[in-house]
Amino acid sequence: MDKTMKVRPLLFAVLVAVISMSSCSKQTEETTPTEQKKHFEVVLRSQNGDYWKTVKIGAEVAAKEFDVALDFRAPGDEADVKGQIALMEQSIGSGPDAIVLAPNSYKQLSGVVDDASMRGIPVITIDSEVESRKAKSFIGANNYEAGQLAGKQLIELAGTSGDIAIVSFMQGERNTELREQGLLEELSKYPDVKVIDKVYSMTDYELAAQLTRNMMEKYPQLDGIVALNEISSIGVAHAIQSMDLQDKVKIITFDSTSEELELLQEGVIQATIIQNPFSIGYLGVKNAVAASNGKKVPSRVDTGIKAIDLGNMFWSDNQKLLFPFIK
């Protein structure tokens, strides 16, 4: 037999073996599952407002850094506690590796936090606390101290005597209560400062503005107003501006939306108490990553507060706080 004829079957057999091995190898590669990214749910207090947009940006930066996937949920209104509970139930049902929650109610969100914990899902609370020992960590500002700082700013601007009003947001809400307590504690040091009215805007801009107009008609002698959250702050400031009272009534606000900063530059707002929403969002996800890996996380992380006025808003350190996502 020709040598070539002998070699051909051998080459054919080798070729078949190589193809078979290649096919097996390819099949093995295709069926080996790729490692899935961890999935976190982030349930915020509201879909609206610059504050929550900045929290979201901070969370997204952390998600990219730690290579995790995020799904965001939030009710349309911070007053919608039942809606947020329903969103938490959906989040728990999706089986995430962890949940980052900014609770709209200290008491009413405790049940779903306990439920998540029972299912082995760690919960990190941000911005506001929840009445549950099952939450792994709280990340946010000290709201009592924030209220005290607002009081100090008001006294500095309006003096140690006069009539003051408070425009708060939700009666019985934890952040509201703590800010009010801190503010009233500070103002109580000055016997000639009288708090003559306190109203609740229910985080409704139009309601905050109307309540402010009503107060000014009832108490035209009012010397100062402290507004305790973003929506209330903008409503109060616009009402005072529309009544051309910005040179008479001192306004202390909370948060650092672009609208508030513009009103600060225009002299309608005299000072605003800012938190660090970027860090709150970032650290919420960072601690969720650690908790999902079974690591111990700090029970509390104080992200700090600061008073911003026209004199210090352009300082470089304060610009980083006011615009953390701009390099």
Q: For the segment 4-40, what is each residue's pLDDT rounded down to a tens digit?
A: 444 444 333 443 444 344 443 333 334 344 568 999 9
Helix (H, G, I), strand (E, B) or coil at 13: helix
At 325, the pLDDT band (50, 70, 90 cuts) reads low
Neighbours of 158 (CB within 10 A): 21
Write the CA distances from 98 to 29, 36, 69, 168, 292, integer angstroms.
Answer: 30, 15, 11, 32, 6
CA 195 – CA 1 distance, rounded (Å): 114
Neighbours of 129 (CB within 10 A): 19
Helix (H, G, I), strand (E, B) or coil at 154: helix
Which is nearest to 259 in space by CA: 50, 107, 27? 50
At 49, the pLDDT band (50, 70, 90 cuts) reads confident
Please tell me the pTM assigned to this model.
0.86
List, for residues 139-179, the tens digit of each pLDDT value: 999 999 999 999 999 999 999 999 999 999 988 899 999 99
